[in-house]
Amino acid sequence: MGIEDTSRIHWACRRGMLELDIAVRPFFEHEYHTLTDAQKRTFIALLKADDPDLFNWLMGHGQPASDELKGMVELIRTRNSARGPVAN
């Protein structure tokens, strides 16, 4: 999935857990366009994580092994906190 394939990325933001939908989808809808190309690739890589891992990372329980993914998790948490995770 390429960084410009926003329809597929949006679909990949749909997760099996409501808590993840509340965190990931609004971030994509409100913030994706502001990311650099490298950050977009990292976001796409993060979407490949299993739901339990992604949930734990976003809730601050553990961290991904990669520095890039750690940075993206922190960016999602920071921007969602500033904007509110369910902003429309």
CATH of the domain at 40: 1.10.150.250
pLDDT of residue 71 exceeding 70: yes
Residue 1 lies in a domain: no
Residue 76 lies in a domain: yes
Q: Residue 66: pLDDT band by 50, 70, 90 thresholds?
A: very high
Residue 61 lies in a domain: yes
- Give the count of beta carbons closer than 10 Å to the beta carbon of residue 35: 17
pLDDT of residue 87 exceeding 60: no
Q: What is the pLDDT of residues 9-64, one digit of tens each?
A: 999 999 888 889 888 999 999 999 999 999 999 999 999 999 999 999 999 999 99
Residue at 13: amino acid letter:
C
Q: Residue 77: pLDDT band by 50, 70, 90 thresholds?
A: very high
Rounded to 5°, the CA angle 77-86-49 comes to: 50
The number of distinct structural domains making up the chain is: 1
Residue 88 lies in a domain: no
Residue 33 lies in a domain: yes
**What pTM did the predictor assign?**
0.89
